Amino acid sequence: MSEVLVVVEATREFGVKKVTCEMLTLARELGTPSAVVLGGAGAADALSAKLGEYGAEKIYAAEGEQIDGYLVAPKATVVADLVKRVQPAAVLLASSQEGKEIAARLAVKLDNGILTDVVALAADGTATQVAFAGSTIVTSKVTRGLPLVTVRPNSVTPAPAAATPAVEQLTVTVSDTDKLAKVVDRVAEQKGSRPELTEAGVVVAGGRGVGNADNFKLVEELADLLGGAVGASRAAVDSGFYPHQFQVGQTGKTVSPQLYVALGISGAIQHRAGMQTSKTIVAVNKDGEAPIFELADFGVVGDLFKVVPQAAEEIRKRK
Amino acid sequence: MNIVVLVKQVPDSGADRNLRSDDNTVDRGSANNVINEMDEYAIEEALKIKEAHGGEVTILTMGPDRATESIRKALSMGPDKAVHVVDDALHGSCAVATSKVLAAALGQLNADLVLCGSESTDGRVQVMPHMLAERLGVAALTGARKLTVDGGTLTVERQTEEGYEVVTATTPAIVSVWDTINEPRYPSFKGIMAAKKKPVQTLSLADLGVAADEVGLAGATSVVVEHSKRPPRSGGAKVTDEGSGGVQLVEFLATEKFV
């Protein structure tokens, strides 16, 4: 079977992101998965055990300052060279900002079609996408070149399949044009023990009804009890209750967790755009007419400042 | 500084949106078409840079005739002029072909800085800045929440999952912005009147030296095979809190095995 390249997403501390395991699982359906590690020195060694656990038969690695010190252009050059050499059956990247950006450059370099936000991919290259705020299901195909696909997190259930990958360090020649956008600093913010928003199995989100930034502690508390990530509606972010990187909706993140808990969120169409493919949705809102209840599998009409603390207490009791 | 802002007309994201049943492209005919909201932040940023450093702001739009409405709306915020790439053969163009056309247009405009929104609300594909950068051989600084211009040096703060990155490049360059970067101004009455008289140049594919079979449905690198409406979610149980709403919520979560 031919190779399927999976461009690895990892944290800066060399933790394999869940979406990478999902992509490797998907790649096994299409061919033989090879992981492509693009990052700081030592990345491949640090990541190889986990990549092998999910079935990577091979690891291609390009590491060091000339990969890591610039925005995506050098990474795209490395992957394009690799694609030309190994002629894979498909290239999978995460539907993250960086994944989409590498894919964008690959599409131009290889004069190849591109499909983003893919939730399923058949062996013949037919992809399923969810469009227009989750309202439309689209099946599509790359008609020029190989399937170049970015995969939306939480679309595939990751399943381990042990392999022992050999690591091949790639010789990297990065042109000056690829070094035009230089990363001069990286600043960590809001780092905590919570899972990343787009990857989390549970998301607890607060909206305008949360009232102020301080009250978001209530949202965080419930998220922590459920082992979830914290999200916020645009109204909450615009009001300064919570930082923008946690915004769910049309102009923020799209999430598709097992459980989405909407607290004080009315459910405007722009918010629904970011969350309505969640498996189970529950909502607490004092307005019984709020559109969020049209989506919710279970809804509580009531004051979230009474309902949420009681729910938190009940969860503690049951633990 | 010569600044070009990419503006796309999209179906209003606050209303029902559809794909056409005949050729699977976005149904723009029946939609309420508006400026892609993200692009308004790019226009505002361009105007702020012009106010601080001087120069000229040009709107660049590729789209059908009706995109003229969005171009006038964009001009009413304050840009100096616009270029509208319009050609029947463009209908159904994929992202790869679109980038070819926009790159050709940018090649004629000699921009120091190209600004755009981080994504369009219709496709949400987020690929255009890097596709253009790849074609033009310039830097792309994407996802800016802050942009500083110092002579020919650009510095952006770029939001990441783990915090932010500070990225620099020299002009010419492409910068895409998030909606956290500024607060777009509302067009004034004077601005709306002035916009009617601002020059809008139209360019065809022939003007750009791009062949018709490289774009549109004929030249598409990917194709929609079929599409359907997702069945709408139906609301489940809804209870009114009469003192035990929190417990009832957890009972539901327990039956679904989340607790």
Domain assignment present for B63: yes
Residue from B94, B98, B249 to probe the interface with A (highest A Cβ count within 10 Å) = B249
Flag if A307 and B246 touch (Cβ within 8 Å). yes
Query: Is the Cβ–Cβ distance between B83 and B111 less than 8 Å?
Result: no
Average the pLDDT over A266-279 and give the result: 92
Chain B 24-83, CB below 8 Å of chain A: which residues?
Answer: 37-38
Domain assignment present for B257: no
Q: Which residues make beta-bridge pairs with B163?
A: A188, B160
Q: Please state, in angstroms and rounded to a whole number, the distance separating the CA atoms of residues B189 and A150.
A: 44
Average the pLDDT over B136-152 and give the result: 97
- pLDDT digits over A102-133, tens only? 999 999 999 999 999 999 999 999 999 988 87
Domain assignment present for A267: yes
CATH number of residue B122's parent domain: 3.40.50.620
Q: Please state, in angstroms and rounded to a whole number, the distance separating the CA atoms of residues B99 and B63.
A: 13
User: Could you give the 3-state DSSP secondary structure of residue B134?
Assistant: helix
Domain assignment present for B64: yes
The total of structural domains in chain A comes to 2
Domain assignment present for B256: no
Domain assignment present for B221: no
Q: Please state, in angstroms and rounded to a whole number, the distance separating the CA atoms of residues A299 and A277.
A: 17
Q: Please state, in angstroms and rounded to a whole number, the distance separating the CA atoms of residues A51 and A48.
A: 5
Q: Please state, in angstroms and rounded to a whole number, the distance separating the CA atoms of residues A294 and A231.
A: 20
CATH number of residue A150's parent domain: 3.40.50.620
Q: Looking at the structure, do residues A173 and A206 belong to the same domain, yes or no?
A: no
Helical (H) or strand (E) element with B239: strand B237-240
Residue A279 touches partner B, C-beta closer than 8 Å: no
Q: In terms of Cα–Cα distance, which of B166, B62, B182, B169 is closest to B113?
A: B169
Q: Looking at the structure, do residues A284 and A245 belong to the same domain, yes or no?
A: yes
CATH number of residue A208's parent domain: 3.40.50.1220
Domain assignment present for B8: yes
Average the pLDDT over B175-187 and give the result: 95
The total of structural domains in chain B comes to 1
Q: Looking at the structure, do residues A82 and A26 belong to the same domain, yes or no?
A: yes
B252: closest chain A residue by CA: A298
Rounded to 5 degrees, what angle do the CA atoms A12, A13, A18 make? 80
User: Could you give the 3-state DSSP secondary structure of residue A298?
Assistant: strand
pLDDT band at A191 (very low <50, low <70, confident <90, very high): low
Q: Looking at the structure, do residues A145 and A228 belong to the same domain, yes or no?
A: no
Flag if A314 and B38 touch (Cβ within 8 Å). no
Which residue type, as a one-letter code, is found at position B155? Answer: T
A216-225 and A304-318 are packed helices; what angle lies between their axes, rounded to 10 degrees? Answer: 20
Q: Please state, in angstroms and rounded to a whole number, the distance separating the CA atoms of residues B224 and A46.
A: 40
User: Could you give the 3-state DSSP secondary structure of residue B59?
Assistant: strand
Domain assignment present for A186: no
Query: What is the extent of the structural domain holding B30?
Result: 2-214
Give pLDDT, residue A46: 97
Question: Which ranges of chain B would DSSP assign to H, the alpha helix?
Answer: 37-53, 68-76, 95-109, 128-136, 189-195, 205-208, 245-255
Rounded to 5 degrees, what angle do the CA atoms B206, B64, B130 make? 75
pTM: 0.94
Flag if B126 and A226 touch (Cβ within 8 Å). no
Q: Please state, in angstroms and rounded to a whole number, the distance separating the CA atoms of residues A17 and A197.
A: 12
Q: Please state, in angstroms and rounded to a whole number, the distance separating the CA atoms of residues A25 and A33.
A: 9
Give pLDDT, residue A25: 98
Query: What is the extent of the structural domain holding A262?
Result: 202-318
Task: Tell me: pLDDT of A192 over 90.
Answer: no
Average the pLDDT over B34-39 and give the result: 95
Q: Taking CB atoms and an 8 Å cutoff, what residues of chain B touch A251?
A: 37-38, 121, 178-179
Q: What is the 3-state secondary structure (H, E, C) of B142-192?
A: EEEEEEEEECCEEEEEEEECCEEEEEEEECCEEEEECCCCCCCCCCCHHHH
Say what the ipTM of the complex is. 0.95
Flag if A298 and B163 touch (Cβ within 8 Å). no
Domain assignment present for B179: yes
Q: Looking at the structure, do residues A217 and A155 belong to the same domain, yes or no?
A: no
- pLDDT digits over B6-23, tens only? 999 999 988 888 999 999
- pLDDT digits over A129-167, tens only? 988 878 899 999 999 999 999 999 999 999 999 999 999
Q: Looking at the structure, do residues A213 and A155 belong to the same domain, yes or no?
A: no
| A142, two tokens | 């790359």
- pLDDT digits over B92-120, tens only? 999 999 999 999 999 999 999 999 999 99
Which residue type, as a one-letter code, is found at position A161? Answer: A
Q: Looking at the structure, do residues A7 and A139 belong to the same domain, yes or no?
A: yes
Residue A20 touches partner B, C-beta closer than 8 Å: no
